[in-house]
Structure formats: C-alpha cells, structure tokens
C-alpha cells in the first residue's frame, strides 16, 4: 500500500497540466504540475455565495486543503522532532468526516475498523483532502486509494443500510441515507456523530461527502466541468501558484481579507476577549505599525524542508508594485508586532523569516512555532472571531 501511495503521488506531482492563470496585464501563462495539484482539488469545490436553508454559504471565504501524501514524502526526506508541528498540522479536520478518527475519549473503541465497516475506507487511505462551506453544509472531498467494490459492499450492509438509496446523477451513482441533514441520535457513531445519513459519491479517485443532495450533486457537476468551481477564479489560481512556489503541503485560502476599517467595525460590534494584553497587542498591530497595502486574496499553509516546519503566507496583490511594497511592510510588521495569544514578537518566535515578491504575489515563510497558526488565525474576522484572529496581515 505504501509503495502504491508513493507512486501515485509522484505521478500526480510530475503530471503536466497546462491551464491559464491571469497575469497582472491580463496575459496568461502555463501552470506547472505543482499548481495543477492544488487546482485539481479546488476544481471539485463549487463557487457559491448564497443562503441555503437559512445558512449563508460562501466558499470563497475559506477553503482548507491538505496533501497528506506530500507531507509523508517530506517527513521521510526531512525527519524532524518538533512535536508541536506534527500535532498541529497532521489533524484530519475539526468538523469533517474524520473528526473523531483520533478520538482519545473512547480507548476501547476500534475506530479504524468502525470506519472500514461503515464507509469502506479509513484515513490511512486518503492522500489529499479539501473542504469548504459552513456548518452543516460542508463540501468535503477526499482523494486516495479507494476500493469501490469494497465500499459498495460495506455501505449496503453497514450502519443505516436500511435507509440507503443509490441515486443516479451526472453519469454516475451516489449513496444517500435519509433526508437532507437529518440527524438520528439513536444512530450516532464515530463516523456519524449526530447520526446524519450523509451522501457519498466516488468519481475517479475522489470520495465526496456531504449532508445534502444538492451539495454532492453540485460537486459532481464540478467534477464533470458542468458547473463553476473555485479553480476557475483567478485569485484562487494565484494562491495555488504561491503555495506551490513555497512548497506547502497544506493551505487555507480565502478572498476574505481584512482591512483596517473592517477590523475596527467588527471589533466595535463584537468586542475583544477580556484577556490580559489582548487590547494592547491589537492596538500595536492596528494603530502603531504601518498597515499593508490592500490585497485581494490570501493563503496560509504549512511546509517542511531541511530547516524544519514553516508557516507559508501568500498575498495576492492587485499589481506587481503593490506586491513589492508589501514586502517591506510585512518585514516591518513581523519585526514590530506580537502574536495575540502570548505577546511574542513574530521575529523572535520564528527561527527564520523570508519575505519576497514574484509578480503579483507577496511570499512569506516563518519557521518554527508560527507554523501552528496556518489553519485558522489569519482568515476573515467574521469567520475566525476576535478571540483567535491574528492582525499581522491587516491592510489599509
């Protein structure tokens, strides 16, 4: 199995795929195989900004991607011992299909076997994962080595098999258990914490997992290239390019950047937690240190090389000049502002810092402890909340 996974990821990373990416002057340039790896995952997440069942879903505001196969390659190539990094960045996702895969509260449970007996595969079979949306309407996609025959057998005899329907859609089948987003607390398991039935589709080497029909069907449409996806949006193409340049194995992508005015409006509305020093550190970042120039999208991720784990930051700017301006501004902010939680200077917390620009991109790496911050500390304030939000990347 390990040899097959290694071969699969090598083929994936070396495959040549040429897609258009917008330059600052409207021209296009080819996308390399590394960027294509990210775009293939973004291609199954629909572009959506609307309200569904009283829940506002905007996939542009937050997409989480992890390339676990690439991480395993890097860990084999660069063995390191920092436990904080491994614990923080190897998580399977706090709200997804595998949220209880490493549940330590039930030491007697054979959770891996429960997954295998319920859906026919486990987290060990997953090479890559991507998700976006808002609870409970999350688009989840897993890519890896899945035995579709085994899955078909298992779901037809496993938990909630009495509710199972096989639905034809978009030239393929998907599995549906019960009504949209319907919970059944008597059927709770580690796989289904609220007993929801979910939908499962298996196009190509993907597994799609949602709680509603329209969700999985829209993902199938994206897979078939009959619906718009995040991979069609220039900002996401550029974020993917930046994460590739920085050799990241994970990424959080968003067009929800935070301006000074937006941050102040949010803080007036929601306030700050009553934590010692929190207000002073926000004031330092927002009032006493020059802000970044406005940019249009941002990605944060994690990488690993011979110097250890690092936080990767990609800013997508409106033009090349802004990208260059933000280099010096970010250097100043890294040197003079502190993290919100413990008040440490970013420049002292990081064991090494690099800041540069390439065309419209401002690219940053911070080695060491900052890598822990990649998944959920720099996104839109409306998503992250003032208690966890780090104002390092606030712009004018």
pLDDT classification of 6: cutoffs 50, 70, 90 = very low
Residues 297 and 222 in one domain: no
Please check the confidence at residue 28 and state whether its pLDDT lies above 80. no
Q: Residues 168, 76: one domain? A: yes
Position with higher pLDDT, 90 vs 105: 105
- Rounded to an integer, the average pLDDT of 145-149 is 96
Q: In this structure, are 115 and 152 located in the same domain?
A: yes
pLDDT score of 17 more than 90: no
More confident of the two residues 5 and 166: 166
Residue among 220, 205, 253, 238 nearest 319 (CA): 238
Domain assignment present for 329: yes
Instruction: Read off the pLDDT band of 106 (50, 70, 90).
Output: confident
Q: How far is CA 316 from CA 132, 209, 298, 313, in A?
A: 20, 30, 6, 10
Both 299 and 376 in one domain: the answer is yes
| 65 and 192 belong to one structural domain | yes
Residue 245 lies in a domain: no
Residue 240, domain member (yes or no): no
**243 within domain boundaries:** no
Q: How many domains does the chain have?
A: 2
Q: State pLDDT tens for residues 42-84.
A: 999 999 999 888 888 999 989 999 999 999 999 899 987 665 5
**Cβ–Cβ under 8 Å, residues 132 and 124:** no
Q: Do 189 and 129 reside in the same domain of the chain?
A: yes
Max avg pLDDT among 130-134, 304-308, 321-325? 321-325
**pLDDT, position 280:** 87
Read off the pLDDT of each residue in 138-167 and give the average, rounded to a whole number. Answer: 94
Whether the pLDDT of residue 3 is over 50: the answer is no
d(CA 122, CA 141): 14
pLDDT at residue 123 tops 60: yes
- Same domain, yes or no, for 281 and 223? no
Q: Sorting pLDDT into bands at 50, 70 and 90, what band is 13? A: very low
349 is a domain residue: yes
What is the per-residue pLDDT across 189-200, written as a single tens digit (0 to 9) for each?
A: 888 888 888 999
Stronger pLDDT, 388 or 283, i.e. the higher one: 283
Summary mean pLDDT of the chain: 86
Please check whether residues 155 and 88 belong to one and the same domain: yes
Over residues 215-226, the mean pLDDT reads 98
83 and 162 in a single domain? The answer is: yes
Mean pLDDT across 356-382: 90
Q: Would residue 251 count as lying in a domain?
A: no
User: For residue 151, what are the domain limits?
Assistant: 2-232
Flag whether pLDDT at 1 surpasses 50.
no
CA–CA dist 360, 191 (Å, integer): 42
Predicted model pTM: 0.88
Q: What is the mean pLDDT of residues 149-169?
A: 94
- Kindly tell me if the per-residue pLDDT of 165 is higher than 70: yes
Q: Are residues 31 and 95 in the same domain?
A: yes
Domain boundary among 232, 266, 300: 232
Residues 153 and 261 in one domain: no
pLDDT score recorded for residue 83: 56
Tell me if 239 is assigned to some domain. no
Residue 94 has pLDDT above 90, yes or no: no
Q: What is the pLDDT of residue 367?
A: 95
227 and 336 in a common domain: no
In a domain, 242, yes or no: no
pLDDT at 312 over 60: yes
Residue 395: pLDDT over 90: yes
For residue 88, is pLDDT > 60?
no
CB 338 within 8 A of CB 344: yes
């Amino acid at each position: 199995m390990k040899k097959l996974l290694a071969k699969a990821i090598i083929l994936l990373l070396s495959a040549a795929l040429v897609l258009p990416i917008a330059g600052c002057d409207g021209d296009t340039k080819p996308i390399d195989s590394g960027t294509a790896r990210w775009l293939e995952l973004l291609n199954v997440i629909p572009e959506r900004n609307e309200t569904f069942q009283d829940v506002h879903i905007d996939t542009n505001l937050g997409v989480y991607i992890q390339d676990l196969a690439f991480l395993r390659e890097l860990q084999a190539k660069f063995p390191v011992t920092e436990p904080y990094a491994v614990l923080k960045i190897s998580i399977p996702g706090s709200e997804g299909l595998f949220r209880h895969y490493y549940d330590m509260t039930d030491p007697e449970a054979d959770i891996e076997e429960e997954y295998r007996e319920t859906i026919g595969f486990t987290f060990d079979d997953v090479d890559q994962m991507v998700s976006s949306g808002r609870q409970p309407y999350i688009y989840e996609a897993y890519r890896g080595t899945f035995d579709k025959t085994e899955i078909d057998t298992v779901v037809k005899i496993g938990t909630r098999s009495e509710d199972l329907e096989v639905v034809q859609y978009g030239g393929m089948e998907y599995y549906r258990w019960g009504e949209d987003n319907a919970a059944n607390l008597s059927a709770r398991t580690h796989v289904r914490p609220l007993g929801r039935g979910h939908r499962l589709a298996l196009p190509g080497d993907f597994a799609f997992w949602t709680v509603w029909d329209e969700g999985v069907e829209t993902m199938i449409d994206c897979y078939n290239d009959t619906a718009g996806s995040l991979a069609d949006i220039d900002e996401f193409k550029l974020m993917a390019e930046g994460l590739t340049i920085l050799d990241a194995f994970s990424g959080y992508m968003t067009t929800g950047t935070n301006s000074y005015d937006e941050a102040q409006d949010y803080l007036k509305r929601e306030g700050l937690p009553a934590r010692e020093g929190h207000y002073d550190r926000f004031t330092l970042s927002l009032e006493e240190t020059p802000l970044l120039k406005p940019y249009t999208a941002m990605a944060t991720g994690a990488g690993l090389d011979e110097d250890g784990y690092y936080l990767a930051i990609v800013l997508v700017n409106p033009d090349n000049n802004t990208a260059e301006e933000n280099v010096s501004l970010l250097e100043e902010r890294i040197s003079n502002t502190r993290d919100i939680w413990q008040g440490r200077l970013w420049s002292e917390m990081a064991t090494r810092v690099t800041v540069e620009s390439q065309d419209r991109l401002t690219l940053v790496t911070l080695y060491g402890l900052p890598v822990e911050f990649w998944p959920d500390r720099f996104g839109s304030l409306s998503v992250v909340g003032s208690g966890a939000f780090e104002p390092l990347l606030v712009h004018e």
